[in-house]
Structure 1
């Protein structure tokens, strides 16, 4: 059912480092044609770190772990590419649909293929006004039952960060800051909230992964929260002002449910003159570089 590229399959079988990459950022997160250039750049960053990239997507109803250039171009340029969470995978497969994978779908398919390390931008989480909407990303529940290491820049700053951290604790998902005791805020190096554990280098991350396996228990993920460099983050004052405006606009226009996150992210891009998009890409690049180093340490290289 899951089609694993020859390169990824051979690397996993040989115990060589592999890094999973999501495809939603390519199909839905960036404008064309920059999205295709960034997709290639991220794969090259993985290779420069000594690992094999495994970009994940569903094409014509077939989940792929590892894409060739033609498949990557389809994800970046083809109209009608859907956005697939893990709940959508069986529907997409049965319908023969094509879609880009979110964090939860990427993590699930990566784990199925034996890939242990996954790099992304920011996780989904608990939405603001959760007590009214009960709106929570599918990322959290999936990570609570999937043994994968996710290198990310925390959770999207438009979310309820403290509630998300509490939810991760309740679900038993391990969270550590990378080189910091503060939880990153996606566009921001510091969300304003602490983390209990700090890991200082890829060897320490790999040691935690080995301890997870040795201890057994529920197959939960490890989140390695890697902050965007401060000199590349979105200006915190600008972020606060624009996000506040975006939330008011969201209310005024009656935007609800799954439409809230793309609405807020789009508002941030437009009203920061693209600065939020550049901070997003800076975070993703840093996470991909670190993930390659973690995968190498995990592989014992």
Structure 2
């Protein structure tokens, strides 16, 4: 079968010219925030990538096609679409084959980026091991994907709603390099530090790019996770946030919310409980990751 990839005009031109490209997920658009804030944020993040010398490629599934980069009108339609599937490895092929509209999670974005020949992906925070996973077995497919798909993923750490020590353990077990950018501490999404030592530290985009290429040269399967701390002026203090996260988790358990609905529920409830502070921080960290993603993509062309 022919790969059902469709490139936006901007991405197609960049790929033909060998210009740096940064993949962006679409779940943040469809499941992360309401319209029109979702559209405005997506447009702003794309512009941040451009302003830092790379081309953005927002990925989504529409009309039997994997779209690598979205035209302006397609992006706006997606931001207002209803009944959009939240896609990971398990349901990506089903959505494409059946013509469903789907937004890509970290795992699905990695798969599509690798198919398209894009080596760098900037997101907000990865999924991980949920609290209580020892009984629920709720572990994000993002962690497995990082162990088998050769994309460097720039994030602000794993989402703070998760069990971070267990998440780091699973990443280590799966042989995923976890690189904190200019930090010795693993960041906790809304907070710059988690109190957990980062397995690796790198201080420059070209060092990260060299490590990406060396993994390929050594035949090592999988990608890299680059944990980029949220900008200091956008950080939310963990002591303020932890009780709020605990309340949101307790409410999800009381309402029997599980599987793919857990993360959107928790993030939405935390936005309410922080009176919008967490959303502002989320937008700031995504933009910060887009900056670093663009720098790494540029460095990959030079190393």
User: For this structure pair, what is the TM-score category when the shorter chain's length is used for normalisation?
Assistant: over 0.9
Aligned equivalents of 1:131 and 1:272: distance in 2?
A: 29
Superposition pairs for residues 86-105 of structure 1, below 5 Å?
86-105=89-108
Measure how far apart 1:266 and its partner are.
Answer: 1.6
**Residues 19-42 of structure 1 deviation map (CA, whole Å, 9 limit, x = unaligned):** 000011111101111111111111
Contact 2:177 2:200 in 1 (8 A): no
2:127 is the alignment partner of 1:121: no
Tell me which moved more, 242-251 or 202-211: 242-251
* Number of the residue aligned with 2:277: 275
2:153 is the alignment partner of 1:150: yes
* Number of the residue aligned with 2:229: 227
Could you tell me which of 166, 181, 186 is aligned with 2:184?
181
When normalised by structure 1's length, the TM-score is: 0.96
**Residues 125-159 of structure 1 deviation map (CA, whole Å, 9 limit, x = unaligned):** 11111110111101111111100000100100111
Superposition pairs for residues 1-301 of structure 1, below 5 Å?
1-218=4-221, 220-300=222-302
SS state at 1:167 partner: helix
Tell me which moved more, 269-278 or 236-245: 236-245
**Residues 209-244 of structure 1 deviation map (CA, whole Å, 9 limit, x = unaligned):** 1211221132x1111100002221122222012112
Runs (5+) with no aligned partner, structure 2: none
**Residues 185-211 of structure 1 deviation map (CA, whole Å, 9 limit, x = unaligned):** 111111221112111011111111121
Aligned equivalents of 1:213 and 1:258: distance in 2?
A: 32
SS state at 1:47 partner: helix
SS state at 1:97 partner: coil
SS state at 2:117 partner: coil
Measure how far apart 1:257 and its partner are.
Answer: 3.0
Measure how far apart 1:84 and its partner are.
Answer: 1.3
**Residues 35-72 of structure 1 deviation map (CA, whole Å, 9 limit, x = unaligned):** 11111111111110110111100111211111110111
Aligned equivalents of 1:35 and 1:72: distance in 2?
A: 10
When normalised by structure 2's length, the TM-score is: 0.95
Aligned equivalents of 1:106 and 1:12: distance in 2?
A: 17
Runs (5+) with no aligned partner, structure 1: none
Q: 1:7 to 1:258 in 2, by over 3 A?
A: closer
Aligned equivalents of 2:244 and 2:251: distance in 1?
A: 10
Contact 1:238 1:272 in 2 (8 A): no
Tell me which moved more, 262-271 or 51-60: 262-271
**Residues 161-190 of structure 1 deviation map (CA, whole Å, 9 limit, x = unaligned):** 111111011111111100001111111111
Aligned equivalents of 2:20 and 2:125: distance in 1?
A: 22
Measure how far apart 1:112 and its partner are.
Answer: 0.3
SS state at 2:127 partner: coil
Aligned equivalents of 2:25 and 2:117: distance in 1?
A: 16
Aligned equivalents of 1:291 and 1:86: distance in 2?
A: 23
